[in-house]
Structure 1
């Protein structure tokens, strides 16, 4: 291992540890089952919200764990693509958090339509509601973390077969001889490693606070939804 590699590992050690610790917490928090009867007395909407949040938690753990494994193997392009998907899922969790914690009752039809788009939405099936726009969700989270969208856009450069995700990641150009040498490290190895692990660690550390606040807000959300159903039946 050369000096640059030593410095790289040292610089990223704290972020690697933070990502691993966050993943351990997320894995431990994943529910094994969900009973709709325990989410609300009358309304089905709290069950839909909880089903979505719990499914997001499972997705985040799988994507985040796979991204961290890719980072450890120096498979940076794969890790960045997985990190981008992790960020999108965290953004979806944040959107659900805002929906549940800010709901004041009285607009059950809009609430149901939004939850159905989150939970059952599709871009290809005509029998499903339209899926949520994930870029809107990313931008919504950017209001809390101003650099979030800019980092997401950088990750997207690697997710597509642009220069960042092709030649710059897998080839070292020889300008003098007009040739290239292919290598798993390619150009800008240190920058890719930094982008991957910092984005991954930052996004994973948002998950448990959002999920915990959702759980805390669940009883009041259920009461509001039950009250809406009662009003509709009156």
Structure 2
């Protein structure tokens, strides 16, 4: 968590990118906002795990998985940029940066399940982990009675509380999912940094009309 916290960016200077295309700026703005969200969610998930608040930890961890999938999608756009013309690239990046289901003037968002399914093709098992977390996130048995109740069948009494059953199993599952999602996020985040200079080098310079490099 310390590495993630120490990596939080403070700003992006669009002029410093030095190109006329908005695409690098759009992609980086999305990535940097996502790392801030990821740090907050992961830090809070760790706090919840320490307090045996497994429902909260699962909800937060599933959100971290979605962040990893979104960042992986940004990486995929960057890696396959040759498939898109400038208009298509702008549309896709704006859907990731500013998508909304409630404001019709904004782009249509990319569905998060599509992002998770896509990353699962490369990071095998992440969809299964996401589905397991969803059992805790939704008010299904795992997230309600399974977490907060235990039946004494001999005496016909049901007890309620935290950690009444399978606490170690729940903690381990959520912690492993969190670590896996953070690993996928870190890889995609850093790989974007590796590829960005090449992408920028392919684009028209801001100063091209002035004869500058």
> TM-score scaled by structure 1?
0.83
* Unpaired segments ≥5 residues, structure 1: 1-22
* Unpaired segments ≥5 residues, structure 2: 209-213
Deviation at 1:124, TM superposition (A): 1.3
Residue 73 (structure 2) pairs with residue 95 (structure 1): yes
Q: Which segment is superposed worse, 169-178 or 193-202?
A: 169-178
Partner of 2:178: 200
Count matched residues.
206
Partner of 1:63: 41
Residues 75, 188 of structure 2: 8 Å contact kept: yes
Separation in 2 of the partners of 1:156 and 1:189?
Answer: 17
Residue 157 (structure 2) pairs with residue 161 (structure 1): no
Partner of 1:113: 91
Q: Deviations over 1:103-160 (max 9, x none)?
A: 1276111111110100000111111111111111111111112211111001001101
Within-5 A mapping of 1:37-76 = 37-76=15-54
Residue 122 (structure 2) pairs with residue 129 (structure 1): no
Residues 136, 143 of structure 2: 8 Å contact kept: yes
Separation in 1 of the partners of 2:6 and 2:185?
Answer: 13
Q: Deviations over 1:32-62 (max 9, x none)?
A: 1111112242111111100001011111111
Q: Which segment is superposed worse, 96-105 or 111-120?
A: 96-105
Deviation at 1:209, TM superposition (A): 2.4
Separation in 2 of the partners of 1:179 and 1:159?
Answer: 26
Separation in 2 of the partners of 1:164 and 1:86?
Answer: 20
Structure with the bigger percentage of helix: 1
Q: Which segment is superposed worse, 180-189 or 53-62?
A: 180-189
Separation in 2 of the partners of 1:145 and 1:209?
Answer: 11
Residues 67, 185 of structure 2: 8 Å contact kept: no
Residue 130 (structure 2) pairs with residue 152 (structure 1): yes
Moved over 4 A (4+): none
Separation in 1 of the partners of 2:200 and 2:166?
Answer: 50
Separation in 2 of the partners of 1:106 and 1:127?
Answer: 23
Which SS does the other structure have where 2:36 is aligned? helix
Q: Which segment is superposed worse, 115-124 or 206-215?
A: 206-215
Residues 100, 214 of structure 1: 8 Å contact kept: yes
> TM-score scaled by structure 2?
0.91
Q: Which segment is superposed worse, 48-57 or 216-225?
A: 216-225
